[in-house]
Chains A and B, each alone.
Chain A
Amino acid sequence: MSILTLLIFSPILFGLVILLLPTEWRNIFKHINLLATLVQLGIAVWLYINFKTGALFAGINHQGQYQFVEKLHWIGLNLGGTNRLQIDYFVGVDGISIMMLLMSSVVMVVAAISSWEINKNHKGYFALFLLLDVAITGVFCSLDFFMFYIFYELMLLPLYFLIGIWGGVRREYAAIKFFLYTLFGSVFMLLVMVGLYFSVRDPQTGNHTFNMICMMNPANYDKGSIFGILSNATLLGYPARVVGFIVLFVAFAIKVPVVPLHTWLPDAHVEAPTPVSIILAGVLLKVGGYGIIRVCFSIFPDIATSGAFWIGLLGVISILYGALNALAQRDLKRLIAYSSVSHMGFVLLGIASQTAEGMSGAMMQMVSHGFLSAMLFYLVGVIYNRVHNRDIYSFRGLGTLMPKYTVFVMVAFFASLGLPGFSAFIAEAFSLIGAFNSQAINGLLPNWMAVCGSVGILLSAAYFLWTLQRMFFGETQLKGGQIWELALTDLGKRELITLVPLALLAFALGVMPSLVFDKVNDSVLALIQFIQLK
């Protein structure tokens, strides 16, 4: 059994333990849960340390260059003649997925710690939590499209229940909205996946295959198949590959989320319990970005290039639109949710630029946003747990009342608005560099996009600072009066233990971006080269 398999499925073991334990022991469930995520984090760190870099380990479209690979035949059905249904259990990591794995396992630990507040139906909650953990890890490791899809769908189920059962007042609405949105995306993805399957043959076995890496090589496409590069097939009057790309892109864009497919996000975030918000913002959104890189761009590089302008445009719109919306919010969690939309726009912009700087910046932004949004949502959770209110205008002058809390809020806010020294600065700067570079290198994105993107940084400063001013500064004045003042105690030890590592991580990545860039660089270069070959 390879280390990746262990990484993916170890939470299941813990989940089983939780399921088997009697309900009376519910108090130790959270400890088991935390242990599970810590074990996973340990494995992820081990992977990160042992991950080899260099052009020979770039991954992307070379099967041999992936690391920690495990490939087993999983489903193989003889369909008569030469046709054989070939679905492999195929996992492996390259520079792009290793960072996602590490980031997601850190976020999961944070989410596990913040699950301390869960107060009903412990068994179900933690079982679903661990199932979600499995699915997320699986998505980042799978190299077989079928497996990818299964894990991708598997994420939906626990999330739906986690929001729908443990959520806020309008939880059912939010859960349904979330579910429908994402399901809408993934259902069409299934069609494209099947189309790809019937277009691609594994050169070794001659069978149709779901192997994503085989899908990346145009030589593996059957002549005249629907997604074949030379076959010029059409779907609905458009070239089939364009349609396929758009469908996959929409599926992932919903996850990212890209304006105008983003409205599930604020609702889901607002209604979800804190740990789920953390996972949603910290990891789920990255699945979208990761999917765009791993699936959309790698399988349809030709379309990615011709459609880069539109992708970049969507990115810019997301940046500005999300930021403006955040400016209009009264609910702190909603504000942060919209800020996520804005920040993820940088990912899209960076990816669309198809330059090494832009791609790396996008990767960095995903990692950085993973930590920062986890931190932000955790902080909102802190205050919400205390007084069950998140309205910005309900609070004033928290700085005097909760000094430590305010320090962390400031760290998180300033890190998010791109203060140098924190990861988001490097990430956003390099996404924008990519966008600027694009004009000179491949001419995909016009300069004004990058300029508009930078305006997004300005707006993010505006809404974060305004919030700081409204909530934390000034004389202390609370809607709930004396009762709230007593309830709003400063951060406890457990909360500090969660927040300090996150803040340090954000800081470390800001000072030593090489922690990410070194691992990512080869893959990014390979990806750029791969895309340019088309």
Chain B
Amino acid sequence: METALSYTDPLIIQLAIAVVLLPFAAFLINFLLISKTSKVSGWISSLAILLSFILSAIVFFKVWDKPHDIHVQQVWFAIGNVKVQIGLWLNNLSVLMLLLVPAVALPVHIYSIAYMAGDAKYTRYFTYLSFFCFAMLALVVMDNMLLMYAFWELVGFASYLLIGFWFTRDKAVQANKKAFIMNRIGDIALLVGILMLYAHYHTFDMVKLFAGDNALANAQGVDKAWLTIPGICFLCGAIAKSAQFPLHTWLPDAMEGPTSVSALIHAATMVAAGIFLLGRVYPAFNADVLTVIAVIGCFTAFMAATIALTQNDLKRILAYSTISQLGFMMLAMGVGAYSSALFHLATHAFFKCLLFLSAGVIIHEMQHLKQKHQLNIDPQNILYMGGLRKLMPVTFITCSIAALALIGLPLTSGYLSKDGILIQAFEWAEGKGWLYSIIPIGAMLTSLLTAFYVARLMFKVFFGESRLKEFNPDIVPEAHDGSLLYQIPMMMLAACCLFPLFSFNPFFYEQAWLFKGFIASSYLERMNLYHTVVPVAVNLLIVPVIYLAYATYIKRDAHWFKQQGVLFRFSYNQWYIDSFYNKVIVKLVLLLSNLTYWLDKNVIDGLIGILANIGILLGKIAAWVDEYVIDGILHVITGIVKQGGNFVRGFQTGRVQGYLVTMLLVILVLYVLKTFI
């Protein structure tokens, strides 16, 4: 099953397999051997992911930018005349993810050792985490759509387990159910897409389908509809996984899980799987679908950013920010900025992860304060924070770096990737009519909104005075940066948020090695004005926006937003989308289910009941007929016989003379008959 593209190197293959299986081994060990609260489990998982990271780095450097994809296969099982293969497909995209996942997971693991230390289900946590890493790593290297789907579901499952990690909390449980079911909607679409492709091309092999010029997807003479419809299905899958409108509502709720989990799964890796999927099956999309992708991405980015403006829950803000950034990636995919999308994926993974980890530390400290002073506050609410800058310097610095990256200021990685997207969006819209230019303008607007809400977040949390004093002036807020186990991973990530990791030129994204790695992009040259104008304009606009935030939240002399305005409430209530789902769709489904149950009980069973009653009625009629007609006849007959018998019995007296009389009479009668008749 080797295609022309394939090129094998046993060592790389083995290493890649090892990368995938190491977390799995950790999962098994933790699951089967380690006791519930043993601290060993954390180290086992971390060690596994560390090894994974090292090995994946080796694999990465061996595969990156090589002309040949690596593709190996083995028969998994045969069904009918088709052999279903299991295999690896390593190209730039997958090795990037293969490196990215352990790179982000490693700090998170280390962080978690400290973060989860006091939890009663410590081992369980690392079991799940290792399982997630395994599933995620397997997802990115699989060459087979069926298996990819399998791991796609398994990461969702791991996410389900981790969101509901504290399963005694009702909110957590509802959130994980919601996450799984909403993801399932996308999964179903994805599955349908895969099955349609299979039905048409009789293979699950993505290499055959999508890779290179002779891929089936590029074949001539095939009805392209058979590619477009699955493409839309894939898009739906990606929308659910990457929390895009309209299936985004699970992600903010998913913040009920441990913060470290949010950092790894719901910011850096799993949600990016949707983008990864789009990258994998990119050839399946035609121009129309791509436009749809761009529109969805742009809308989601904008919507999430507006929602993030007014939220007070620290993690929720970050969640909406994640949605917004994922929207950016979608947008990039839609406008053909394939490489920029993946670039942004990588940079976003680092800085968003870092933001979450910082948030985790902050929430941790707030929780301490809450318990210490027995306050009735939500430790995640940014309205109660403030002034943490001096108390937690390390956290502040790392968090600021991440925030700046998120805003996209120069010298950060975010600048590189985000500007790439904006520029290419403008280029894409050029010459397509004004309607198309909504998308780049929306994107630009979104990046300004991003700057605002990030600034709001930073100012509320780190600057000013602690709001806790408003509750009780006596409180002396105490907070510390965590132990080294907290600090080291955060610093590692902070380093990754800066430009040198990606490009030696801090201003031109085109020079980033990561960007160049994806040849699919045709925008290699700084061809036109946009490449200069857009970054400058954006950065120039961002400065006043940040100042505006500063004015609003620190100096409190600007009152732009009416706290009770329609727009505010619209934003605060997350555009009412969640309520709509709960009140309309869930109700509708439940109603439908009750209806069918009613149908079952009353109509079908009722019908059966009526049939049964008819049967019983017939039975009763039959019984009546039996008793009075048939039995009646029988009774009459028996009566006759009985009477006859009684009559005849009269002769049977035992009296010999009586018999004799009878006998003689009979003789007489016979004689008379014989003689006279």
A binds B: yes
B596 and A518: CB pair below 8 A? Answer: no
* Closest-CB distance, A354 to chain B (whole angstroms): 12
A518 and B77: CB pair below 8 A? Answer: yes
A383 within 8 A of B: no
A325 and B597: CB pair below 8 A? Answer: yes
Question: A-B pairs with CB below 8 Å: how many?
Answer: 142
* Closest-CB distance, A414 to chain B (whole angstroms): 7
B168 and A327: CB pair below 8 A? Answer: no
Chain A positions within 8 Å of B151 at CB level: 420
Interfacial residues of chain A within 430-464, with CB under 8 A of chain B in the complex: 430, 432-433, 436-437, 439-440, 447, 450-451, 454-455, 457-458, 461-462
A463 closest partner in B (C-beta): B593
A450 and B184: CB pair below 8 A? Answer: no
B647 within 8 A of A: no
A414 and B600: CB pair below 8 A? Answer: no
* Closest-CB distance, B192 to chain A (whole angstroms): 5
Interface of A is mostly: helix
Chain B positions within 8 Å of A440 at CB level: 199-200
B181 and A324: CB pair below 8 A? Answer: no
B173 and A469: CB pair below 8 A? Answer: yes
B196 and A420: CB pair below 8 A? Answer: no
Chain A positions within 8 Å of B181 at CB level: 458, 461-462, 465
A473 and B164: CB pair below 8 A? Answer: yes
Chain B positions within 8 Å of A263 at CB level: 600, 604-605, 608
* Closest-CB distance, B110 to chain A (whole angstroms): 28
A465 and B81: CB pair below 8 A? Answer: no
Q: Per a CB cutoff under 8 Å, which of A259, A447, A454, A472 touches B191? A: A454
A432 and B167: CB pair below 8 A? Answer: no
CA gap between A262 and B605 in the complex, in Å: 9
B152 closest partner in A (C-beta): A420
Determine the interface band of chain A, counting residues with CB < 8 A from chain B.
35 or more
Interface of B is mostly: helix
B32 within 8 A of A: no
Contact with B along A462-495 (1 / 0, CB 8 A): 1001101100111110000000000000000000
B167 and A472: CB pair below 8 A? Answer: yes
B351 within 8 A of A: no
A132 within 8 A of B: no
B673 within 8 A of A: no
A260 within 8 A of B: yes
A441 closest partner in B (C-beta): B199
CA gap between A519 and B594 in the complex, in Å: 42
CA gap between A431 and B185 in the complex, in Å: 19
A328 and B604: CB pair below 8 A? Answer: no
A468 and B150: CB pair below 8 A? Answer: no
A518 and B78: CB pair below 8 A? Answer: yes
* Closest-CB distance, B640 to chain A (whole angstroms): 39
Given known A461-B184, A462-B589, contact A356–B199 (CB-CB < 8 A): no
Q: Per a CB cutoff under 8 Å, which of B153, B199, B605 touches A436? A: B199
B80 and A473: CB pair below 8 A? Answer: no
CA gap between A399 and B76 in the complex, in Å: 36
B520 within 8 A of A: no
Q: Per a CB cutoff under 8 Å, which of A328, A450, A512, A528 touches B596? A: A328
Chain A positions within 8 Å of B595 at CB level: 324
CA gap between A458 and B36 in the complex, in Å: 33
A399 and B593: CB pair below 8 A? Answer: no
Chain B positions within 8 Å of A474 at CB level: 167-170, 173
CA gap between A3 and B394 in the complex, in Å: 75
B592 closest partner in A (C-beta): A324
Q: Per a CB cutoff under 8 Å, which of B80, B164, B177 touches A355? A: B80
B597 and A329: CB pair below 8 A? Answer: yes
Chain A positions within 8 Å of B195 at CB level: 429, 432-433, 436, 450
Q: Per a CB cutoff under 8 Å, which of B80, B180, B200, B596 touches A324? A: B596
* Closest-CB distance, A256 to chain B (whole angstroms): 15
A514 closest partner in B (C-beta): B77
Interfacial residues of chain B within 184-199, with CB under 8 A of chain A in the complex: 184-185, 188, 191-192, 195-196, 198-199
CA gap between A465 and B164 in the complex, in Å: 12
Chain B positions within 8 Å of A14 at CB level: none
Q: Per a CB cutoff under 8 Å, which of B167, B188, B590, B600 touches A454? A: B188
* Closest-CB distance, B163 to chain A (whole angstroms): 11
Chain A positions within 8 Å of B150 at CB level: 420-421, 425
Interfacial residues of chain B within 577-632, with CB under 8 A of chain A in the complex: 589-590, 592-597, 600, 604-605, 608, 612
Chain B positions within 8 Å of A371 at CB level: none
B149 within 8 A of A: yes
Interfacial residues of chain B within 435-463, with CB under 8 A of chain A in the complex: none
A399 closest partner in B (C-beta): B167
B509 within 8 A of A: no
CA gap between A397 and B164 in the complex, in Å: 13
* Closest-CB distance, A325 to chain B (whole angstroms): 5
A513 and B77: CB pair below 8 A? Answer: yes
CA gap between A513 and B78 in the complex, in Å: 9
CA gap between A465 and B154 in the complex, in Å: 15
CA gap between A502 and B481 in the complex, in Å: 49
Residue of B79, B185, B597 most packed against chain A (CB within 10 A): B79
B173 and A457: CB pair below 8 A? Answer: no
B174 within 8 A of A: yes
CA gap between A19 and B597 in the complex, in Å: 43
Given known A263-B605, A474-B170, contact A360–B191 (CB-CB < 8 A): no
Chain B positions within 8 Å of A525 at CB level: 80-81
A475 and B199: CB pair below 8 A? Answer: no
A339 within 8 A of B: no
B80 and A356: CB pair below 8 A? Answer: yes
B285 within 8 A of A: no
Residue of A324, A356, A432 most packed against chain B (CB within 10 A): A324
Interfacial residues of chain B within 356-395, with CB under 8 A of chain A in the complex: none
A520 closest partner in B (C-beta): B79
B4 within 8 A of A: no
Contact with B along A253-292 (1 / 0, CB 8 A): 0000001101100000000000000000000000000000
Chain B positions within 8 Å of A472 at CB level: 167
CA gap between A328 and B181 in the complex, in Å: 17
B609 closest partner in A (C-beta): A263
A94 within 8 A of B: no
Chain B positions within 8 Å of A324 at CB level: 589, 592-593, 595-597
A450 and B192: CB pair below 8 A? Answer: yes
A357 and B79: CB pair below 8 A? Answer: yes
* Closest-CB distance, B191 to chain A (whole angstroms): 6
Chain A positions within 8 Å of B167 at CB level: 399, 472-474
A465 and B168: CB pair below 8 A? Answer: no
B82 within 8 A of A: yes
* Closest-CB distance, B585 to chain A (whole angstroms): 11
A125 within 8 A of B: no
Chain A positions within 8 Å of B154 at CB level: 419-421
A266 closest partner in B (C-beta): B600
A461 closest partner in B (C-beta): B184
A160 within 8 A of B: no
CA gap between A429 and B198 in the complex, in Å: 11
CA gap between A180 and B609 in the complex, in Å: 12
CA gap between A433 and B169 in the complex, in Å: 39
Given known A325-B593, A360-B79, A419-B154, contact A458–B188 (CB-CB < 8 A): yes
Contact with A along B301-329 (1 / 0, CB 8 A): 00000000000000000000000000000
A466 and B191: CB pair below 8 A? Answer: no
Q: Per a CB cutoff under 8 Å, which of A327, A414, A475, A517 touches B79? A: A517
Nearest 7 pairs of A and B residues by beta carbon = A356-B80, A420-B150, A327-B593, A328-B597, A514-B77, A473-B173, A436-B199
Q: Can you list 5 A-B pairs with a CB-CB distance of less than 8 A?
A: A324-B597, A436-B198, A458-B185, A469-B177, A521-B78
Q: Using a CB–CB distance below 8 Å, which chain A residues touch chain B?
A: 177, 180, 259-260, 262-263, 321, 324-329, 355-357, 360, 397, 399-400, 414, 419-421, 425, 429-430, 432-433, 436-437, 439-440, 447, 450-451, 454-455, 457-458, 461-462, 465-466, 468-469, 472-476, 512-514, 517-518, 521, 524-525, 528
Q: What 12 additional pairs, Cβ within 8 angstroms, besides A432-B192, A473-B164, A521-B79? A: A263-B604, A327-B589, A327-B593, A425-B150, A429-B195, A450-B192, A454-B188, A457-B188, A461-B180, A473-B167, A474-B173, A514-B77
